Structure 1
Amino acid sequence: MSKLILTHEVTGLGAPGDVVDVKAGYARNYLIPSGFAVAWSRGGEKQIESIKAARAARELATLEEAQQLKATLEQSVVTLRVKAGNGGRLFGSVKTSDVADAVAAAGLGQIDKRKIEIPSAIKATGSHEATVRLRDDVAATISLSVVAVR
C-alpha cells in the first residue's frame, strides 16, 4: 500500500488534499503519472493546507449558491453541436471539456471540466445525461442534446 496526497478530485477515492492509502501499482502507474496525487511525506502537511485552501477558493462560496446553480442546470437542456457521419455516429466522442464549453456558451455559468462525469461515452447524436459535482454534497444532472453538424 502507498500513502498519497491527492492533488485533484478522483471519483471514488477522495478530494484534493485528502491523504489516502492505495495499492502501489495504482499509485505508481496511474495516480502519480497523471498528476492526480503526490507521494505522502512528513513535509507534505504544508502542501495539504495549500491544496485545501485553493480548493476552498475554487468551490462555490455557499451551499445556497450551489443549490441555485443545480436548479438552473437541471431545468435546462444543453445543446452540443458536433461533427457526425451518416446515422448520427460521431467522429470521436463528447468530452467533459465539450460539455463545460457548451454550458458556458448557454449562459448557465462556468463549470470546471474535472467536476463533470459522463457515465458512458457519448458517441451518437440524441439525448444524454451527465453529472456535475458542484460541491462535495451537491451534484446536478445535466440533460444534453447532441446535434449533428456537417
Structure 2
Amino acid sequence: MEIILIKDIPGLGFKDEVVNVKNGYGRNYIIPQGLGVLANKSNSKVLEENLKQTVKKQEEILKEAQKLSKKIGNLVLDFKLKSGSDDKVFGSITTAQIAKLLSEKGIEIHKKNITILTKVNAVGEYDVELKIHKDITHPIKINVTGDVSSRKKSKKIKKEEDVTKDDNKNVKNSEESKEQDITSKENSDESQPKKSKKDKKNPK
C-alpha cells in the first residue's frame, strides 16, 4: 500500500514522501502512530497543497542536507578489529558503531539511514552509504585495520604455552628415566646369586 509520510521514518523515508509498505505495517503501525496517512486521492491533494506551501521550507531542508554532504566530503572512518595472520578479522562493524563515530565528529545520521554495502570480513576499505535526504545519498568509506598488538600477544601466549609443554615433557621424560634406572638396578640385584651362610663361614 502507498503511504504519505507525515514524519521522517529512518530507513523508510522522509516527511511528505510517498512510500510503499506492507498493508499490515501501514495499517497497524504507521497510520495509528500518526507517522503517515493513506495515499488516496483526497490525501494526495492535501499533500500537493502542503508541498506548494512548504516549497521554501523544503528548499531550506535540502540546502542543509547539501551542506551536510559537503561537510562529510571524502570521509574515511577508521576501525580496528582483532585479526588473524591471514588478515581476516574477528567481529564485525555495525551501523550503530558508524553512527556513533559520525556523531563524535558532529554528524548526526540515524543508524537506519546507514548502509554497509559489503560484508566486513577482512582488513581493508569498505563502501558505506549515508541517506541524509530523500534526494541525497552520500558515500563514505570505512577503513578496517587489524589489531597487531592482540596478534602479538596471542603469539606470545602460544609461545609460552609451547615452552611450558616442552618443560612438562622434559620433566616427564626425566621422571620416566629415573624410574627405568631404579627398575634396572632392582632387576640387576635380583639376578646376582646370593651367598649362603656356609660360604661365608668357610671361604675357599
TM class, shorter-length: 0.5 to 0.7
Normalised by the size of structure 2, how large is the TM-score? Answer: 0.48
Q: Please state how far the C-alpha of 1:89 moved relative to its aligned partner.
A: 1.3
1:127 aligns to 2:115 (yes or no): no
Measure how far apart 1:99 and its partner are: 1.5
Per-residue deviation at 1:116? 0.4
Once the two structures are TM-superposed, the CA of residue 38 in structure 1 deviates from its matched residue by: 4.5
- Number of the residue aligned with 1:136: 134
More helix by share: 2
Distance 1:66 1:16, change over 3 A: closer
Q: Aligned residue for 2:84? A: 85
SS at match of 1:129: strand
Q: Structure 1 residues 137 and 112 mapped into 2: Cα distance closer, same or farther (>3 Å)?
A: same
Task: Letter of the 2:91 partner, please give it.
Answer: G
Asked whether the 8 Å contact 1:66–1:138 carries over to 2, the reply is: yes
Q: Higher strand proportion, which one?
A: 1
Gaps of 5+ in 1: 51-60
Q: Distance in 2 between matches of 1:144 and 1:62?
A: 27
- Secondary structure of 2:89's partner? strand
For residues 134 and 120 of structure 1, the distance between their equivalents in structure 2, rounded to whole angstroms, comes to 20
Tell me the percent identity.
21
What CA distance in whole angstroms lies between the structure 1 residues aligned with 2:109 and 2:132? 8
**Residue 114 of structure 1, aligned match among 109, 112, 128:** 112
Gaps of 5+ in 2: 38-59, 151-204
The structure that has the greater radius of gyration is 2
Q: CA deviation at 1:121?
A: 1.0
Amino acid at match of 1:39: R
Deviations 1:77-127 (A, max 9, x none): 21112222222212132211122122233x141221100011121111111
Structure 2: distance between partners of 1:115 and 1:75: 18
Residue 39 of structure 1, aligned match among 9, 27, 30: 27
TM-score normalized by structure 1?
0.62
Secondary structure, aligned partner of 1:62: helix
**Structure 1 residues 66 and 8, CA gap change in structure 2 (3 angstroms):** closer
Q: Distance in 2 between matches of 1:87 and 1:78?
A: 22
